[in-house]
């Protein structure tokens, strides 16, 4: 089931004369410590863009001189009402590593449980563990 598409005003960070971009993050490669850890589609910053409700949006920009740029990054969540909530921010050369693990956690919070078909491995689980999962899913209610 896809989420509704909403229009959000994506901010621009830093100086418009320096590098700046925005991306809807769909996956984080935790083996990387730079900007390539964040996978997803680029979107234009500094204006209105259509994204899915609940999207995690990473915005990057630079300020300062061309020879000595200062990196700025912020992570937003697209709310159903079309607003953005700022969740994280980082500055300096280690911005990607600073944000990486927390962005990965944000994506996991919204990830649906992947349903699997019945498997004989279920027989190895303790009855109490299976009952706990049934209660957690709310399947014990009429």
Our count of domains for the chain comes to 1
Domain membership flag for residue 137: no
Contact 25, 58 (CB under 8 A): yes
> What is the distance of C-alpha 29 from the center of its chain?
12
pLDDT classification of 129: cutoffs 50, 70, 90: confident
Domain encompassing residue 107: 5-114
Domain membership flag for residue 125: no
Mean pLDDT value across the chain? 89
Domain membership flag for residue 76: yes
Distances in whole angstroms, Cα of residue 95 to Cα of each of 24, 29, 63, 84, 100? 17, 15, 14, 20, 8
pLDDT computed for residue 136 by the predictor: 73
Looking at 36-45, 76-85, 114-123, which range is the least confident one?
114-123
Is pLDDT larger for residue 1 or for residue 41?
41
Domain membership flag for residue 87: yes
Give long-range contacts, CB 8 A cutoff, 24+ apart: 41-47: 43/10, 44/10, 45/10, 45/11, 45/12, 45/13, 45/20, 45/21, 46/10, 46/11, 46/12, 46/16, 46/20, 47/9, 47/10
pLDDT computed for residue 119 by the predictor: 80
Domain membership flag for residue 135: no
pTM (2 decimals)? 0.75
Domain membership flag for residue 136: no
pLDDT computed for residue 37 by the predictor: 95
pLDDT computed for residue 115 by the predictor: 63
pLDDT classification of 124: cutoffs 50, 70, 90: confident
Domain membership flag for residue 65: yes
pLDDT computed for residue 121 by the predictor: 81
């Amino acid at each position: 089931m896809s989420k509704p598409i909403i229009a959000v005003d994506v901010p621009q960070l830093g100086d418009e004369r320096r590098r700046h971009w925005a991306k809807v993050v769909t996956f984080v490669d935790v083996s990387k410590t730079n900007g390539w850890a964040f996978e997803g589609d680029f979107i234009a910053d500094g204006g209105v863009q259509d994204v899915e409700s609940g999207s995690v949006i990473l915005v990057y920009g630079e300020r300062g001189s061309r020879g000595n740029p200062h990196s700025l990054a912020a992570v937003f969540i697209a709310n159903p009402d079309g607003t953005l909530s700022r969740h994280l921010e980082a500055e300096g050369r280690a911005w990607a590593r600073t944000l990486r693990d927390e962005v990965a956690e944000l994506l996991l919070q919204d990830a649906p449980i992947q349903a699997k078909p019945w498997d004989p491995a279920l027989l190895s689980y303790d009855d109490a563990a299976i009952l706990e999962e049934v209660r957690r899913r709310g399947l014990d209610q009429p």
